[in-house]
Amino acid sequence: MAIKIAITYEKGGVGKTTTAVNLSAILAEKGYKVLLADLDLQSYATSYFDMYDDKLPCIYEVMCEDNPVTAEDAVRPTGIERLDLLPSNYRFRKMETVLMMKTKRQEYTLKKCLSEIEKNYDFIIFDSPPNGERIKENALA
């Protein structure tokens, strides 16, 4: 079972993405298999690896229950050995509303989506947004 670390804070511009990206790279360099999940609609962690692409599936499609996209379908290698990325893009801005519409157990949506690939990683690092309470709840759950 992967160790999960959520990088979160209530304010923007304090180094959450920098911390998430660097921590992920350091752990991969140390020999651990790492998944970096970009949970921010600004997609800076995704852009850091030059992997922003609106045409490919991202965390939004994975977390939407009416989409047939699995986490495995959306995960991409970063080019750094042992470091994969679950990217974000502009569509993720709708995720707060999607989660709000769920009537029960919405805080476990992300956990459920990652359950099948979790065994492939030693660490899963979540880069969380400064806003978006339900997204942060999911990262922490």
Residue-wise pLDDT tens digits, 37-47 = 999 888 999 99
Calculate mean pLDDT across residues 99-103: 82
pLDDT of res. 117? 96
Report domain extents, the chain. Answer: 3-140
Question: What does the pLDDT read at residue 11?
Answer: 61
| pLDDT score, position 119 | 97
Average pLDDT of span 19-27: 97
| Assigned superfamily of 3-140 | P-loop containing nucleotide triphosphate hydrolases (3.40.50.300)
Nearest Cα residue to 95 out of 45, 28, 38: 38
Contacts 24+ apart (CB under 8 A), 48-53: 48/17, 48/21, 49/78, 49/79, 49/85, 51/76, 51/78, 51/85, 51/87, 52/87, 52/89, 53/87, 53/89
Mean pLDDT of 55-70: 88
pLDDT band at 36 (very low <50, low <70, confident <90, very high): very high
Could you read off the pLDDT of 64-97 as tens digits, one per residue? Answer: 877 779 999 999 999 999 999 999 999 888 888 8
Q: Does pLDDT of 6 surpass 70?
A: yes
